[in-house]
Each structure stands twice: as C-alpha cells, then as structure tokens.
Amino acid sequence: MIINRRALLATAAASATLPAMRARAQGANLKIGVLTDLSGPYKDLAGPQAIQCVYQAMEDAGISGKGMTVDVISADHQNKPDVGAGVARQWFDREGVDIIVEVANSGVALAVAGVAKEKNKVYINSGAATSDLTGGQCNANTIHWAYDTYMLAKSTGGALAKAGGDSWFFITADYAFGKALQRDTTGFIEANKGKVTGSIAYPFPGTTDFSSMLLQAQSSGAKVLGIANAGTDTINTIKQAKEFGVTMTLAGLLLFLSDVHALGLETAQGIVLTDSFYWDHNDKTRAFSARLAKKFPSARPTMVHAGVYSSVLHYLKVAAQAGVPAMKGSGTDVVAKLKAMPTDDDAFGPGSIRIDGRKIHPTYLRRIKKPSESKGPWDYCATISSLPADEAFRPLAEDGCPLVKS
C-alpha cells in the first residue's frame, strides 16, 4: 500500500510538471487553431467538417511549395464561453497558435475575440452569427467571415415582412446569438411597418422540448414564427411545429444546409432561408464541394464550412506574400494585411474585408424545394433573389464600431 501510494503521489507530482516539457514549437511555421463545437448542437453545421476545410484550404493554397509549414490543432468549446476563452488563452500562450478560426457560438466567439485582442493575435470567425463582432464589440484583431445576424435579418426578415408578414412571434435562444438575431430582425420588421407581438427566450444549450413555446406562439395570433436559434435547436423547433400543426409562417432565420438535411424536404419544403454559400450554386462552388467530398463524403459543406475554407485560404495567401515572420508578429498588423488584400475563392467568389472586420460578398435568398423538385441527394435549395455585397451587410455608418472613424 505504501509503495502504491507513493507511486500515486509521484505520478501526480510528475504530471503537474508536464506542461513545461511540452515543446514550444516556434520555427518557421504557422499554427492554426480550430475552436469549434465537436459535441453539441452545432456539430454538423461546423464541427469536424470545419477542421477538414482548414486542410482543404492548405492544400488549395499550395503551401508546401512556398517554404512554410502549417500546423493545425482543434478543440471543442462545449458552447461554454469560459471553456472557449480558456482554450484560446492557452493556445496563444502555450501552443504558439497564430490564428483561431471558426468558433460556432456567438457567446464563445465574443469571448475569444476579447482574448485575441488582449494577446494581439488573429481571430477569423465563420461560425458565430452575432453582428456585434463587427459592431459595438468589434476590434482590430477580429474578422467576421461567412454571415451575420444583420444580413440574415435583412434578407429573410425583410423578404417575409414585405410579403405580408406584419406580426411576429419569436422563439429565441437566450444568449448573444439569439438576442442579436431577434434584435436585428425586429429592426427590419418595424421598418416594414410590422410589429412583434411577443417572444420567448429559452435556456441554451440543453433545451429540446419547444412544445409549450410553440403553443404560446400559436395562440398569440401572430402570422410569422421567428425562429431565432440554430443547429439542432432549429431542427427540433421546426419538427415540433409541424407535429403540433402550427399554422404560422415559419421563418427559419438561420437555417443551414445540414439542418435542411436533418429535417428532410418533406418537413422543410417551402421555407425560405438566407445564405452566402450553397454548394450547388455555380461551377466553382460545385468544384470546391467535390474536392471536399473526397475527404468528407458524408455531407455537403454549409456556409460555415465554406467560410472556414475561404478565410484560411485568404490568410495563407497573405502569409505566402508577407512571409511567416510577419504573420507571427502583431495581430493587428496581420489583420490590416488581410483587410488590404481583396479576397477571391471558389466558395464566395470575389469579395473584400471592410475596416470594421466584416468580410462582404453577395448573399442569397433561397427556398427549400419540394421533394418532387429535388433531383438527387443534397439538392435542396432554389435561389429566389440575391443582394450584392455592398447592400447585403450592415452599412458602416450604422455599425457603432469604434474602428470606423466618422
């Protein structure tokens, strides 16, 4: 027993010193940290496929021929801001991570943006939606890539409000993302002379039963049900709305391809959604999706995946031009370089990054097809209309971002 106990203590003592032995690799290489949801409600719309997209971007950037190596590490933020901020801090401090990408959860994303600013590193968000990242809480170390709540609200919310949806009821995930989405959508409803008759915010994550909220929404008499949540929460809300025979117009304010796949066309048909990337949009998006499908055959990419791919590709292009030492320097300088170069890739086409950190590109309003219209697997959406890049996102003047001067 004595020896056992000593051995136990020795192990405990030795293990406490282990972090020190971990080599701090700081050669001529860059390190990308993918902080994502690997176990929760956003696993399918981001998760493992987002990590795969980083590798795809490295391959397409042809980094091996450009005298640099890129390491990738990943972690699960568990949708907890403290976990995400802790991992980010540790990555910047100990692992020599130069840039964090993805972070599908607005609460976590805002925390990570704060850490990136404090440590003067780079953070390119694709998964989180809140428009506050480029608004009141913007900083010079953060870029927001694929989409945001303002753009969703303008496109889906605006379209439904114009089509006669003048009274709304919201079911909202009670954290940064849900609140931002409801706030931004409400702005467009009211601009179209509509009104919000009520809303329920539910605890996130962990809520799976939406029935009481749906019944309350139905009895409110509102015409449109604004679903201000994402991932499996949206899937559950829509499925349960169908089961309960909710007759309101369902406004899936943020609906990803992975959600449509999980719902099935039978349930989801007719719903309109907004995105900035759809795999079957044009030849280039199809080519990108086909390349990715070789490594990740089970699902087509969502706009989050495309955003991760596109942002890492852009970062590596800038890195090839500026050289690795410059990319390891001040994060604000790196972000300034990223903003200076126009973006172009297969997923989003040509675009640019604004001063507030908002990456802009065209957005599309799409309708989910009827089962009879779908020609094959993953053929889910038909395009209704589009908005050009400079109209789709929140104007700089309305940002409230301190980086935008007068």
Partner 1 sequence: MIWSFSRPQLLALVVMLAVIGIAPAFVYPVFLMKVMCFALFACAFNLLIGYVGLLSFGHAAYFGMGAYVSAYAAKSWGLSAEICVLLGGLVGAGLGVVFGAIAIRRQGIYFSMITLALAQFTYFLCTQLPFTGGEDGIQQVPRAALLGFISMKPDMAIYWMTAGVFLIGFLAIFRIIHSPFGQVLKAIRENEPRAISLGYRVDDYKLIAFTLSTFVAGCAGGMKSLVFGIASLTDVTWQASGEIVLTTLLGGLGTIFGPVIGAVITNTLEFYLAPFGSWVTVTQGVIFVLCVMLFRRGVVGEIAAKTKVSL
- Contacts with partner 1 by CB under 8 A lie at 2, 5, 8-9, 12, 15-20, 38-39, 75-76, 78, 80-83, 85-87, 89-90, 93-94, 106-107, 110-111, 114-115, 117-118, 137, 174-176, 203-204
Residue 201 bridge partners (DSSP): 172
- CB nearer to partner 1: pick between 73 and 293: 73
Q: Which is nearer to partner 1, 73 or 246 (CB)?
A: 73
In terms of Cα–Cα distance, which of 362, 176, 165 is closest to 274? 362
- 283 contacts: CB under 8 Å, gap ≥ 6: none
Q: How far is the CB of 168 from partner 1 (least distance, A)?
A: 22
- Give the nearer residue to partner 1 in terms of CB position, either 118 or 333: 118
Nearer to partner 1, 22 or 294 (CB): 22
Q: How far apart are CA 219 and CA 95, in angstroms?
A: 53
Cα–Cα distances (Å) from 213 to 157, 183, 219, 227, 353, in that order, read 20, 19, 10, 11, 39
Q: State the CB neighbour count (10 A cutoff) for residue 66.
A: 15
Helix (H) or strand (E) holding 220: none
Pairing relation of β-strands 69-76 and 99-102?
A: unpaired
What gap in Å lies between CA 369 and CA 249, rounded to an integer? Answer: 16
Strand partners, 69: 29
Compute the least distance from the CB of residue 239 to partner 1, in Å: 23
Tell me the closest approach of the beta carbon of residue 12 to partner 1, in angstroms.
6
Q: How far is the CB of 225 from partner 1 (least distance, A)?
A: 22
Q: Of 50 and 85, which has the nearer Cβ to partner 1? A: 85
Q: How far is the CB of 74 from partner 1 (least distance, A)?
A: 9
Question: Least distance in Å: CB of 262 to partner 1?
Answer: 22
Query: Hey, how many other C-beta atoms are within 10 angstroms of the C-beta on 12?
Result: 9
Q: How far is the CB of 16 from partner 1 (least distance, A)?
A: 6
Q: How far apart are the first and last CA of the chain?
A: 73
Query: Of the two residues 112 and 313, which places its CB atom closer to partner 1 in the complex?
Result: 112
| Joined tokens for residue 332 | 């604000």
Query: Cβ closer to partner 1: 84 or 301?
Result: 84
